[in-house]
């Protein structure tokens, strides 16, 4: 071995491969975002895209396979699935976002109060969330739903919302507890900053990146919960069209070998959930990276 060969081995090792891997992990999930935007746009423009009335029961054309007139076919009640997808998507997405709005609001308020309170109040509040967390969410939803009676879109969102805030609240509480003794929070309180001022200007900017991915995941779970419930016949009734209630027809559809009735809403649902998961994971990675940059 010559000297030169020896020396070339020494030095900073090239890390091209790992850098590329990191980059692919970090890069924006453009495809997922694009698909999500398409689905949302489609639902918003449902009246333009889907000219058929989704609620109209076309008894002459029930359980028709996809064809020129009915792009995605019709279901066992004779409803046009193409229209149902876009109109029903509105309901599914609305439930997803509205339930998340409710749960995030509760989580921010509860988590911040718990984080900023004295030790024993904090402990008590965290025990309460642990008790809630230990009960399966679906069970609680079913229970409340049974009390409330017939489900509507709003009541279902509220029920899903008030049963899915615990983990976000816990994360917020931990973050708040870390920063509440920091001097800039004390300084702000010293200058007369109220709880809301401190929460908004000092605490929220710090925990928002930490909970962003949980919020997106919450949208995903809310949509999944709605579908599960409706699929089991305990969520939205058949006449309120959502992707979940469309799936609840699957039992009858399977008997007639009408695959489109179950596969098409199922496909849209899965694609939506996968997109949200990808975006959520990307948000989590960015949040982690920011933390390690500090």
Partner 1 sequence: MDNAIVTVKNLTHRFRLSKKTVIKAVDDISFTIQKGEIFGLVGESGSGKSTVARCIMNIYQPTAGEILFHDVNTCDKTAFRQNRKLLQTARQLIFQDSASSLNQRMKVADIIAEPMKINHITPPRGSYREEAAFQLRYVGMDENYLDKYPSEMSGGQRQRVAIARALSMEPELLVADEPIASLDVSIQAQIVNLFKHLQKEHGFSILFIAHDLAMVEYLCDRIGVMYRGKLVELAETAELFAHPLHPYTQMLLSAIPYPDPIRERNRPRMNTEDMIFDTEGTFREIRPNHFVLTKEAAL
Residue ranges that bind partner 1, judged by CB under 8 A: 182-184, 186-188, 190-194, 197, 201-202, 205-206, 294
Percent helix, percent strand, percent coil in the chain, to nearest 5: 75, 0, 25
- d(C-alpha 107, C-alpha 110), whole Å: 5
| Shortest distance in whole angstroms from residue 207 CB to partner 1 | 11
Indicate the residue among 5 and 183 with the shorter CB distance to partner 1: 183
Indicate the residue among 144 and 179 with the shorter CB distance to partner 1: 179
- d(C-alpha 243, C-alpha 46), whole Å: 14
Contact 160, 153 (CB under 8 A): no
Indicate the residue among 66 and 193 with the shorter CB distance to partner 1: 193
| Shortest distance in whole angstroms from residue 189 CB to partner 1 | 8
Give how far Cα 135 sits from Cα of 124, 143, 156, Å. 18, 11, 19
| Shortest distance in whole angstroms from residue 13 CB to partner 1 | 30
| Shortest distance in whole angstroms from residue 201 CB to partner 1 | 7
Indicate the residue among 208 and 273 with the shorter CB distance to partner 1: 208
| Shortest distance in whole angstroms from residue 190 CB to partner 1 | 6
CA atoms 30, 36, 40, 41: torsion sign: positive
Contact 99, 164 (CB under 8 A): yes
Indicate the residue among 194 and 256 with the shorter CB distance to partner 1: 194
- CB neighbours (10 Å) of residue 144? 15
Indicate the residue among 91 and 283 with the shorter CB distance to partner 1: 283
| Shortest distance in whole angstroms from residue 290 CB to partner 1 | 11
Give the residue from 98, 121, 110 showing the smallest Cα distance to 171: 110
- d(C-alpha 49, C-alpha 72), whole Å: 13
CA atoms 16, 17, 20, 21: torsion sign: negative
Which residues fall within 8 angstroms of residue 132, CB to CB, at 6 or more apart? 140, 163, 166
Strand, helix or coil for residue 74: strand
| Shortest distance in whole angstroms from residue 127 CB to partner 1 | 23
Indicate the residue among 26 and 197 with the shorter CB distance to partner 1: 197
């Amino acid at each position: 071995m010559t000297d030169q060969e020896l020396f070339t081995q020494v030095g900073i090792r090239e890390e091209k491969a790992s850098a590329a891997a990191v980059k692919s992990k970090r890069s924006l999930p453009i495809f997922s975002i694009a698909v999500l935007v398409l689905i949302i746009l489609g639902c918003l423009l449902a009246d333009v895209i889907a000219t058929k009335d989704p609620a109209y029961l076309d008894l002459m054309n029930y359980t028709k396979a996809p064809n020129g007139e009915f792009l995605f076919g019709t279901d066992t009640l004779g409803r046009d699935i193409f229209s149902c997808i876009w109109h029903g998507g509105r309901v599914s997405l609305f439930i997803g976002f509205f339930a998340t709005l409710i749960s995030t609001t509760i989580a921010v308020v509860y988590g911040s109060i718990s984080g900023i309170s004295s030790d024993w109040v904090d402990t008590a509040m965290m025990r309460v969330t642990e008790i809630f967390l230990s009960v399966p969410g679906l069970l609680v939803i079913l229970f409340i739903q049974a009390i409330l009676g017939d489900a509507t879109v709003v009541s279902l969102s509220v029920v899903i919302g008030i049963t899915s805030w615990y983990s976000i609240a816990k994360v917020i509480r931990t973050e708040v507890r870390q920063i509440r003794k920091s001097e800039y929070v004390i300084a702000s309180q010293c200058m007369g900053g109220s709880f809301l001022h401190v929460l908004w200007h000092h605490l929220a900017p710090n925990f928002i990146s930490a909970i962003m991915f949980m919020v997106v995941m919450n949208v995903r779970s809310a949509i999944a919960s709605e579908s599960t419930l409706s699929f089991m016949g305990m969520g939205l009734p058949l006449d309120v069209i959502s992707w979940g209630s469309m799936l609840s027809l699957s039992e009858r559809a399977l008997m007639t070998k009408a695959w489109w009735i179950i596969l098409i809403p199922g496909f849209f649902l899965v694609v939506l959930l996968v997109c949200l998961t990808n975006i959520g994971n990307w948000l989590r990675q960015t949040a982690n990276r920011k933390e390690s940059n500090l």
